[in-house]
Amino acid sequence: MYTLKDAKVGKKVKVKKLQGEGAVRRRIMDMGITKGVEIYIRKVAPLGDPIEIFVRGYELTLRKADAEMVELED
């Protein structure tokens, strides 16, 4: 499984599906991260947390635990 946590900086990726359930899934979806959306990985902190992304015209930061729940297309 290839997740947002595994994506390389400077790469554009496409969301395949969201893992998880409940409040965490809702929080990710509220950020505009849904199936089929393209995400550009801007920057990753030295220890991998947080991950800065660009999605639907917005710059966002995601925790590493949340990024693991976003499955990407290969």
Pairing between β-strand 70-72 and β-strand 58-62 as defined by DSSP bridges: unpaired
Q: Is pLDDT above 80 for 27?
A: yes
Please give the pLDDT value at position 54: 94
Tell me the domain boundaries of the chain: 4-72
Longest pairwise C-alpha distance within the chain:
30
Give the pLDDT confidence of 28-68 residue by residue, as tens digits. Answer: 899 899 999 999 999 988 876 899 999 999 999 999 888 89
Please give the pLDDT value at position 74: 75
Give this prediction's pTM. Answer: 0.85
Query: Could you tell me if 55 and 33 are in contact, meaning their C-beta atoms sit under 8 angstroms apart?
Result: yes
> Out of 3.40.50.300, 2.30.30.90, 1.25.40.10, 3.40.50.2300, which CATH number does the structure's domain 4-72 have?
2.30.30.90
